[in-house]
Structure 1
Amino acid sequence: MKYVSFFLVLAISISLAVIVSIPIGQIPPIAPLLDPNHGFWQNTLSEDQLARNEMHLANLNGPVEVVYDKNLIPHIFAGDELDLYRAQGYVTAQHRLWQMEFQTMAAAGRISEFVGPIALELDRMTRRKGLTYGAEMGLQYIQENDPETLRLIEAYADGVNQYIAELSDARLSVEYKILNYRPESWSAYKTLLLLKYMSDMLVGDRDLEYTNLRKILGEAGLNRLFPEFPSENDPIIEAEKVWDFTPVPISKPDSLNYPDETLLINPLNQPIEGTGSNNWAVAGKKTKNGNPILANDPHLSLNLPSLWYAMQLSTPTHSVKGATLPGALGVISGFNEHIAWGVTNATKDARDWYKITFQDDTRKAYKYGNEWRQSSYRIEEIKVKGQEVFLDTVIYTHHGPVVYDRTFGSERQDVNFALKWTVHMGSNEQKTFILLNKAKNFGDYNSALDYYTSPAQNFGFASVSGDIGMRIQGKFPLKWTEQGKFFMDGANPQMEWQGYIPNEHNPATLNPERGFVSSSNQHPVDPSYPYYVFDNSYEHYRNRRLNSRLREMEQITVEDMKTLQFDDFNLQAAEALPVMINLLGTHKVDDPAAEKYLQELRSWDYFADPNQKGQTLYSIWSSEVFESIWREFREIGVPVVLPNSYQTVELLTKSPNDSIFDIKSTEGIETAADHVKRGFDSLLVAMKKWELEEGDYSWANFKKTTIQHLVPNFNSFSVTNVYTGGGSGMLNATGSRHGASWRMIVELGPEIEAIGVYPGGQSGNPGSKFYANFIPIWANGEYLNFNLRTIENQEDILFKTSLK
């Protein structure tokens, strides 16, 4: 069976071209793929079949042992950090080189190099956002300020490059063979670029859409539909927190003149709905064994190869284990002999847009206050497979790169929109994780976080000494109220950020009285926090479910935490469905199909288990109702953001006769009930079609969770229709393409107990038995033993290799 995926991919390729030994257009040469000594046949061997007892790795200070357990998780034992990270680079490249390179090429705007002009606009946007510029600034910052970290990053790169140097055509990943290219050298720059790529995945902004809404709705209308705090705010840092510092003063201009125009450009891609995370830690006073327990499950795209790669890294002074990010040093979410930590996205606005006024068409100078400042030019050379190099000129101002202008995104001569983003500022996030990996206490954890800039993250913490904590960390601009919420005038110095919130003023808590800390991408604080906090994408359901359960629970065990990570109670449905059924009234009362579906909805317990039909029906009905309510917003003709589901449900519940429900283009006055009935009619149509074509509408069959290969059309290397529950807004946030990309639970007792799993496998080779073997375990809410190992522990060894 393991050969099936290869035959399917080859069939697709062969159907595109005759068997030739040279490329035709974008099609790879087929003969090398079929070469039995170098082609895809060589990728059908699993890692244990290729294992060697000894390998030569240059530049080591001493011997390094790599012990693989039965799941192909490597445990690296080295004499010092330089050897450790050199070995980490080498070992990671053995299993994930293509993924590492693909992701950094995407971050660098270089996809066109191997797929052709279809990716040109994507590459242009990536370059114009300044990801490569940000990585260059990061490298310069580390070169000037932290030579020790640079040595470690370069050691990692050396390990990767030593693997590349010995890589034969036979051992190339099948993706290289299909796409017809070879790996290039790794570098410290690429590691930093990968970290900037993560920022781009997790950071969003809605400045341009909010500007349009403000013009359309007015200030009062905007604030009513888009309040900055929900009525039920259960923030990350407990609302009882007393802020014991004197805030930095911020001066708000007496009058604000925003650019008065409707913005017609297409905004940047935002984090995809479903991207989020949970983390929490409970104090020993709430656990059965009296030990703190920490849990973390980042919610990201479900991809193969997985975003994460599990690993243990050990020197004589520390041992750390958890999820690594292929291409970056150390463990990102994990634990050592003293502490555990986990991360979630902090969703704080760190990107702002400015309108630039150039002096003339040459764009060599732009207005700033009463002067004209010189702009700079950055020529982006984009290689395009099968075509000439594309040259893109990007103008840079002190605010940042001019992303949108007459050459990109708009044909208007006066469109010059610059992006200000903390990613463009020199920083050293890599040092944060290097220090966390060997931290021993809360003080070490705090010191490590001081180096962290972007993307903003909620760092949960627990230690064997009994401490639990949470800190929301990033480099956050000092802003007056509503600054950065709307498009700003780049010529007005009053629109500048006024510095940055000091690290010691970032929201944080240690050992709160309630006995737990938690984050689920909700509001970080309550209104008493003395700095302006804003983001459009805060979560409103997972956090309340999580905090409610943690407040109730006592005598907590690791088993309880497993159940909580896999909890698929749909709080939104529990709050909205009774209201919708009530507003539906007797509509369609004589329709047998309607009665059948309503009965299934009434008897549903609000858990989105894979066999549930109520979740499917609610998912369709609620989405159709929300679509009906906000359809006129979608038809405005300019980019806007829609009110979120929490605010929509609140309007349905508390103000069903509100004028917002009236459809201005029709006669009569509509209420919430009209939209609920229209949504139900759409449900009936959708279900008739579904049952005719698909039959079973249980939740797992309806949502069809897919773990997709990084190249979307490599479907044979993906895993489809994974039988599992959960969904958006639930703790088990497993949707069709997003979900818990890594689950970890650590109990910090005298003997640390840890479990973890992710939806994939350690190998990046689709022909390996270790490519997707964790998926059934993950889908069932089960885990792997993740305890720390010593070099003397010889249990469950798959093989071991000495690096000399």
Structure 2
Amino acid sequence: MKYVGFLVVLALTIALAVAVSRPFGAIPPLAPLLDPNHGFWQNAISEDELAEDELELKNLSSEVKVVYDENLIPHVFASNAADLYRAQGYITAKHRLWQMEFQTMAAGGRISEIVGPLALDLDRMTRRKGLAYGAEKGMKFIQENDPDSYLLLEAYADGVNQYIDQMSDARLPVEYKILNYRPEHWSAYKSILLLKYMTDMLVGDRDLEYSNLRKILGDVMLDKLYPEYPSGVEPIIEPGHKWNFNPLSVTQPDSIPYPNDQLVIDPLPQPEEGTGSNNWAVSGSKTKSGNPILANDPHLSLNLPSLWFSMQLTTPEHSVKGATLPGALGVISGFNENIAWGVTNATRDTRDWYKITFQDKTRKAYRFGEKWEQTTFRVEEIKVKGEDVFLDTVVYTHYGPVVYDKTFNSKRQDINFALKWNVHEGSNEQKTFLLLNSAKNYEDYNIALDNYTAPAQNFVFASNSGDIAMRIQGKFPLKWKGQGKFFMDGADPRMEWQGYIPNEQNASTLNPSRGFVSSANQHPTDSTYPYYVFDNSFEFYRNRRLNSQLSEMSEITIEDMQGLQFDDYYLHAAEALPIMLELLSSEAESGAEAKKYLSLLKEWDFYADPNQKAPTLFYIWWRKTYGQIWKELSENVAPIVLPSYYQTVLFMKNEPSDPVFDLKNTSEMETAASHVKQGFEEMLADMKKWEADEGDFSWANYKKTTIQHLVPQFKSFSVENVYTGGGSGILNATSSRHGASWRMVVELGPEIKAFGIYPGGQSGNPGSKYYSNFIQKWANGEYLNFDLRTSDQAEGVLFQTILN
């Protein structure tokens, strides 16, 4: 009861319950919520005050010891894998149960059960994409092909369920109390579903938007504005890499009759702007110690509870530590006594759309070549809080589910689009992480990755034997050039994928001569790679800044790598601003405010530090200019994607008078300078309003970084206006709602040295002092010591628990 901040917030519980429940449905019963023995008051107690020396846990073969350090990071010591993962499930549920369940209910299209009809369309979209269907396929695949992994998934679920069964009403997470529902049992299926949900968060496609662009612009202009390999690309695998394999052949049709529809439908939700990641490893030849150093910082939405939960997991065979994903087994990004690994999103197009021609209104058959293939029907029963069950019939073809049809998101009876996605095929990503957790060398790392299908990831690797490596891993379809860039005719068998790239032919590199490997969501390879590679969202700024720094650095230390993860250099601004200043006409520089802002911009060193004001000015000026340049294109009714910032800057620099800048619906001939001037004037207007309303326009105050609760309406459980720099396209990729969800730096020597941090805390309980206690350190670029611990280390121990 001594945590005043939490109690002040929860003194408003009645108002909060009413406010958040109004859009969701009925207000929860207030008597249980206010009950001093079982209600929200009990959530004001932190975990160290609830510590228990011993707990009874069924189905263990021997005692498991759990040692919590001063930051509430559990170190679990078990005699075998089954006990280890049963304990992991129990401990994770103890601190993150509501988060685990909420995320899997979102993945299963079940949010309407909690909040009512408000989420019905979201749930329908999730079901129609086939996430639950893919998880069912995955579970069957694991049961049939890897029963040992399935037994471990079951052990984890058993641990979660034992915690749920032992949990008192007092310990029920506060979100359940406010939203008035209770947890259900966990299962192996839910762990599999959670990993499919991560795929959905990270995989995008722009097939429908590119189809619209092709119709609007034509092929020539499309290739000009959206080149697949713009000049200046620096790929993940070092240029000039030799591909020592014979590629499989791919047959491209002589003619490709793309459907000519312009589509006015809402595309699937795409990964949000700012979603990305950095990882790299430097060899001992470039470090002060002579040992390899590995770094990883995945960029995702900044949420509370944090996406990650830190743990050490130890058996007599191995000891691993790092970031776990609540609901999944093992460590996802981390290290053990021999190796370290990390991941970034590989942004590869593994989702394709096919236009389906049904035989008749019954939709029982569809054309495929000269035949009519039979469909199957999957009836999705969506429970809706306070209303009747909603039944949604989804048609399945051999490609996959028909997401868009006459019953969903399409106003035309003849628009039926099926989604082909490797998530719908059986796979076992969980095994990849189980094997990585105990891997000893480069060979083990490759064996682990052979099990990995989706989402495509760039797996960085380093070992204490001195190796560094990078492998771009996923199950990638064999495609002819251009296949999947636009939606295809599902009646034409030539549009089928022709198989998959073999694992051993996925792009990879081991110990390159430059002394480092790195990735930041850019193009995977140069144009010599023998397979077609495409995505609309390759990154152009973080990767070049990272590579330039790593190329120049020597005698590298852990501190240097930490500094690089927190690097605020704004490369996009460094390349665009000088061009904009040169194109700005002199009359635009008149006036006191214009001179003040231009002075700040001209003196700027291009670092987006929190106290700097120039980043705000550039950000607004650029966005206004960019919006002007592509104004007519963005006014299309049909969904499209605009050209990249990188390509736009190249046009401004190299072809400032190109007709691409001319707006066809005006009498003037616009150039890049016209748009820069208009953007500057709009920036002045915005700044006048901002200074009148807010005053301070320093970068941190303008971007207002927020670590938001998973339920946005629970603002009291969020942390707003975090004072930190960086931004989208910067190595320290901290924008208003996205950023480094986990930072890790590991030196692989005879004795492992490791450091990590994430923007949150170990607890999922907003009333705990461990809920958000890492945020300030994270915002300042500080780290926690993450060294491996033994079971008898007493220094910094918060408390210990024996599971019997």
With normalisation by structure 1, the TM-score equals: 0.99
Displacement after TM superposition at 1:8 (Å): 3.5
- Any residues of structure 2 matched to 1:396-435 within 5 Å, and which? 396-435=396-435
SS at match of 2:114: helix
Going from structure 1 to structure 2, the CA distance change for 1:800 and 1:237 (only over 3 Å counts) comes to same
For 1:25 and 1:414, the matched residues in 2 are separated by 36
SS at match of 1:587: helix
SS at match of 1:191: helix
Going from structure 1 to structure 2, the CA distance change for 1:16 and 1:61 (only over 3 Å counts) comes to closer
- Give the structure 1 partner of residue 217 of structure 2: 217
Deviations 1:565-616 (A, max 9, x none): 0001000000000000010030323210000000000000000000000101
- Give the structure 2 partner of residue 582 of structure 1: 582
* Letter of the structure 1 residue corresponding to residue 343 of structure 2: V
SS at match of 1:328: coil
- Give the structure 2 partner of residue 11 of structure 1: 12
Displacement after TM superposition at 1:4 (Å): 3.6
- Any residues of structure 2 matched to 1:387-786 within 5 Å, and which? 387-786=387-786
Going from structure 1 to structure 2, the CA distance change for 1:24 and 1:99 (only over 3 Å counts) comes to closer
SS at match of 1:588: helix
- Give the structure 2 partner of residue 346 of structure 1: 346
For 2:5 and 2:315, the matched residues in 1 are separated by 42
- Give the structure 2 partner of residue 232 of structure 1: 232
- Give the structure 2 partner of residue 291 of structure 1: 291
Displacement after TM superposition at 1:168 (Å): 1.1
Q: 2:804 matched to 1:801? A: no
For 1:245 and 1:589, the matched residues in 2 are separated by 59
- Any residues of structure 2 matched to 1:268-347 within 5 Å, and which? 268-347=268-347
Deviations 1:679-723 (A, max 9, x none): 000110010000000000000000000000000010000000000
Displacement after TM superposition at 1:255 (Å): 1.0
SS at match of 1:419: strand
SS at match of 2:12: helix
Displacement after TM superposition at 1:30 (Å): 1.2
- Any residues of structure 2 matched to 1:82-93 within 5 Å, and which? 82-93=82-93
- Give the structure 2 partner of residue 249 of structure 1: 249
Which 10-residue stretch deviates more, 528-537 or 665-674? Answer: 665-674
For 1:17 and 1:129, the matched residues in 2 are separated by 33
SS at match of 1:544: helix
For 2:681 and 2:30, the matched residues in 1 are separated by 52
For 1:435 and 1:374, the matched residues in 2 are separated by 40
For 1:506 and 1:482, the matched residues in 2 are separated by 19
Aligned structure 1 segments of 4 or more residues deviating by more than 4 angstroms: 15-18, 22-25
For 2:23 and 2:531, the matched residues in 1 are separated by 58
For 2:388 and 2:14, the matched residues in 1 are separated by 25
Is 1:212–1:639's contact at 8 Å kept on the other side of the alignment? yes
Displacement after TM superposition at 1:26 (Å): 2.1
Is 1:9–1:714's contact at 8 Å kept on the other side of the alignment? no
Is 1:5–1:717's contact at 8 Å kept on the other side of the alignment? no
Displacement after TM superposition at 1:5 (Å): 4.3
For 2:552 and 2:668, the matched residues in 1 are separated by 48
Deviations 1:530-550 (A, max 9, x none): 000000000000000000000
SS at match of 2:801: strand
For 1:6 and 1:593, the matched residues in 2 are separated by 45
| % identity of equivalent residues | 69
- Any residues of structure 2 matched to 1:146-185 within 5 Å, and which? 146-185=146-185
- Give the structure 2 partner of residue 27 of structure 1: 27
Is 1:3–1:767's contact at 8 Å kept on the other side of the alignment? no
SS at match of 1:391: strand
* Letter of the structure 2 residue corresponding to residue 63 of structure 1: E
Displacement after TM superposition at 1:17 (Å): 5.4
Is 1:17–1:24's contact at 8 Å kept on the other side of the alignment? no
Is 2:69–2:799's contact at 8 Å kept on the other side of the alignment? yes
Is 1:322–1:332's contact at 8 Å kept on the other side of the alignment? yes
Displacement after TM superposition at 1:636 (Å): 1.4
- Give the structure 1 partner of residue 792 of structure 2: 792
Going from structure 1 to structure 2, the CA distance change for 1:641 and 1:555 (only over 3 Å counts) comes to same
Going from structure 1 to structure 2, the CA distance change for 1:25 and 1:545 (only over 3 Å counts) comes to closer
Deviations 1:595-641 (A, max 9, x none): 00000000000000000001010000000000111111111111111
* Letter of the structure 2 residue corresponding to residue 543 of structure 1: N
Is 2:24–2:118's contact at 8 Å kept on the other side of the alignment? no
For 2:25 and 2:304, the matched residues in 1 are separated by 27
Going from structure 1 to structure 2, the CA distance change for 1:803 and 1:202 (only over 3 Å counts) comes to same
SS at match of 1:277: strand
SS at match of 2:799: strand
Displacement after TM superposition at 1:13 (Å): 3.6
Going from structure 1 to structure 2, the CA distance change for 1:15 and 1:150 (only over 3 Å counts) comes to closer
For 2:40 and 2:543, the matched residues in 1 are separated by 46
* Letter of the structure 2 residue corresponding to residue 307 of structure 1: L
* Letter of the structure 1 residue corresponding to residue 15 of structure 2: I
SS at match of 1:729: coil
For 1:477 and 1:13, the matched residues in 2 are separated by 53
Q: How many residues align?
A: 802
Is 1:616–1:702's contact at 8 Å kept on the other side of the alignment? yes
Displacement after TM superposition at 1:505 (Å): 0.2
Gaps of 5+ in 1: none
Going from structure 1 to structure 2, the CA distance change for 1:31 and 1:551 (only over 3 Å counts) comes to same
- Give the structure 2 partner of residue 123 of structure 1: 123
Q: Could you say what the CA RMSD is over the residues aligned between the two structures, in angstroms?
A: 1.4
Displacement after TM superposition at 1:354 (Å): 0.2
SS at match of 2:607: coil
Is 2:213–2:640's contact at 8 Å kept on the other side of the alignment? yes
Displacement after TM superposition at 1:10 (Å): 5.6
Is 2:25–2:115's contact at 8 Å kept on the other side of the alignment? no
For 1:26 and 1:422, the matched residues in 2 are separated by 40
* Letter of the structure 2 residue corresponding to residue 664 of structure 1: K
